[in-house]
Amino acid sequence: MATILITGSDGQLGSELKLVSKNYYGYDFIFTDLDTLDITDNKKTRDFVQKANPDWIINCAAYNLVDKAENDIQTAMLVNGTAVKNISESIKGSECRFIHFSTDYVFSGKSNIPYNEHSDPDPESAYGRSKLAGEKAALSHHAAMIIRTSWLYSSFGTNFVKTIQKKARERESLNVVFDQAGTPTYAADLAEAVMVIVAGVIRNQVAFIPGIYHYSNEGVCSWYDFAEAIVSKSGLSCIVVPILSVQYPTAAKRPAYSVLDKSKIKENYGLNIPHWRTSLNRCINLLK
């Protein structure tokens, strides 16, 4: 029986993986979070991993406070960089497969065509730099797969969908930037994709090919389009007003364009990815 260790499993993606795992029988899932396995602790990580002896590690732990990271780069680097190195070191020399997640914010956003896995990362925020450090740390293990994703949301945790719903219930109008384009990702879809890959590899239906991959839902939109869809699909009457990023200053600079090209993950693992509007509908129905 394959043992699958999930770290940071109380977050959005980890919680979705817990749900999805119920449909996958015959695997031994070990779900951990900060209280049971703090991956910034090198010794504890090594000891835990040695004892659990997993065939797979799926690291969902992260420091995702994009603006806060600008003034707290040490913590961001510790969780997003050093802790990933701790995991890599804990499985050094073993055949354990390692799946780690990164972000569209490793890109500067100066492109106007979707970023693929060969595009040069050039993060403009402390968060993006810490996630890029994590990519390098994960890839030091010979059997590591990095999945970069973007604009993640879920019915679990705090995210843009829930924030917009809350604000739209309280206000008559809402300003949202329309000059940053990307693609939302429903964490439930990403969790399902991860399990399709893991199960496919375990059953010898697909080959595990280490390296970097991109995953988001299909389609493209601005934060304004996304907010507008959230408000209308939630049946709320708040007016969403498009504004420029300069009218909404933030501590961290965000990419103006961060659409991810998902061809590689779709081709290698035969994934069918839903459009962001379809998945948003599913999440909003669940939140009702």
Ligand X SMILES: NC(=O)c1ccc[n+]([C@@H]2O[C@H](COP(=O)([O-])OP(=O)(O)OC[C@H]3O[C@@H](n4cnc5c(N)ncnc54)[C@H](OP(=O)(O)O)[C@@H]3O)[C@@H](O)[C@H]2O)c1
Does 12 bind ligand X (CB under 6 A)? Our answer is: yes
Residue 33, interface with ligand X (CB under 6 A)?
Answer: yes
- Is residue 40 within the footprint of ligand X (CB under 6 A)? yes
Is residue 183 part of the contact set for ligand X (CB under 6 A)?
no
Ramachandran area for residue 178 (φ above 0: left; ψ -120 to 50: alpha; else beta): alpha
115 is catalytic: no
Q: What type of residue sits at position 79?
A: V
Judged by CB under 6 A, which of 18, 27, 38, 199 binds ligand X?
A: 38
Q: Shortest approach of ligand X to residue 73 CB, angstroms? A: 15
CB of 140 to ligand X, least distance (A): 17
CB of 28 to ligand X, least distance (A): 20
60 binds ligand X (CB under 6 A): yes
69-88 residues in contact with ligand X (CB under 6 A) are: 79, 83
Q: State which H helix or E strand residue 28 sits in.
A: strand 27-31
**103, 108, 130, 217: which one binds ligand X (CB under 6 A):** 103
User: What length is written for the chain?
Assistant: 288
Residue of 63, 115, 127, 213 marked catalytic = 127
Q: Does 101 bind ligand X (CB under 6 A)?
A: yes
Closer of 60 and 168 to ligand X (Cβ): 60
Are the CB atoms for 56 and 224 separated by under 8 Å? no
Residue 61 touching ligand X (CB under 6 A) = yes
242 binds ligand X (CB under 6 A): no
Q: Please answer whether residues 109 and 257 qualify as being in contact, where contact means their C-beta atoms are separated by less than 8 angstroms.
A: yes
Q: Helices (H), strands (E): how many in the chain?
A: 10, 12
Closer residue to ligand X, CB minimum distance, 8 or 26: 8
The pair of three-digit structure tokens given for residue 182, joined into one six-digit string: 């990307």
Q: Examine residue 195 and tell whether it contacts ligand X (CB under 6 A).
A: no
Residue with tokens 């994960």: 138
Task: Report the alpha-carbon distance of residue 196 to residue 270 in Å, rounded.
Answer: 9
Does position 34 bind ligand X by CB under 6 A?
yes
36 vs 173, beta carbon nearer ligand X: 36
Distance between CA atoms of residues 259 and 131, nearest Å: 17
| CA distances, 216 to each of 42, 114, 115, 259, 262 (Å) | 31, 12, 12, 9, 7
Closest to 13 measured CA to CA, from 161, 153, 148, 199: 153
**189 in Cβ contact with 17 (< 8 Å):** no
Residue positions annotated with a catalytic role: 127
| Site residues (vs ligand X, CB under 6 A) | 7-8, 10-13, 33-34, 37-40, 60-62, 64, 79, 83, 101, 103, 131, 149-152, 157, 187
